[in-house]
């Protein structure tokens, strides 16, 4: 079999390139699964005066990536986003409907519903 030097190196480099791309593909880490935001069509918010939303910013995606799921779906506009910190919830505006907790894509949830503290009258 007669093969020129040029052909020999050309085929060698081609096969080397194929081997490198095969190894590179095998070494790639799988893309992390992006959190999905539930559709609010499945959720019927009901005002619960005895409940309020509480932010758990250690889990909040708004700190780093700009998740606006709860902010966009809060009808009474009780939620504000503070980049680098997370979210802030205005307790006076919160109706306790739970939409923010329902749409939060973080696991564990960055917004949770809790009972309001009873104000003591003296």
Residue tagged 């992006």 (tokens): 34
- How far apart (Å, rounded) are the C-alpha atoms in residues 10 and 20? 15
Could you give the C-alpha distances from 33 to 30, 36, 37, 56, in angstroms and in order? 9, 9, 12, 22
The domain locations on the chain are: 40-115
CATH topology of domain 40-115: Alpha-Beta Plaits (3.30.70)
Segment-wise mean pLDDT, segments of 10 residues, the chain, 122 residues: 74 78 70 68 81 93 86 92 92 93 92 79 44
Given a contact cutoff of 8 angstroms between Cβ atoms, the answer to whether 82 and 115 are in contact is no
Residue-level pLDDT at 1: 60
Cβ count within 10 A of residue 63: 18
Max CA pair span of the chain: 104
Question: pTM for the complete prediction?
Answer: 0.63
Residue-level pLDDT at 31: 67
- How far apart (Å, rounded) are the C-alpha atoms in residues 122 and 36? 47
Count the alpha carbons within 13 Å of 28 in the hemisphere toward its beta carbon.
Answer: 8
């Amino acid at each position: 079999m007669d093969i020129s030097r040029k052909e020999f190196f050309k085929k060698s480099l081609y096969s080397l390139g194929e081997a490198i791309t095969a190894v590179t593909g095998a070494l790639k880490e799988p893309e992390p699964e992006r959190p999905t935001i539930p559709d609010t069509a499945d959720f019927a918010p009901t005002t619960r005066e005895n409940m309020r939303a509480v932010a758990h910013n250690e889990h909040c995606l708004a700190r780093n990536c700009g998740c606006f799921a709860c902010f966009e779906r809060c009808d009474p506009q009780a939620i504000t986003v503070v980049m680098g910190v997370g979210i802030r919830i205005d307790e006076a505006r919160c109706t306790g409907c739970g939409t923010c907790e329902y749409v939060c894509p973080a696991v564990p949830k960055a917004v949770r519903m809790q009972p309001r503290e009873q104000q003591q009258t003296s």
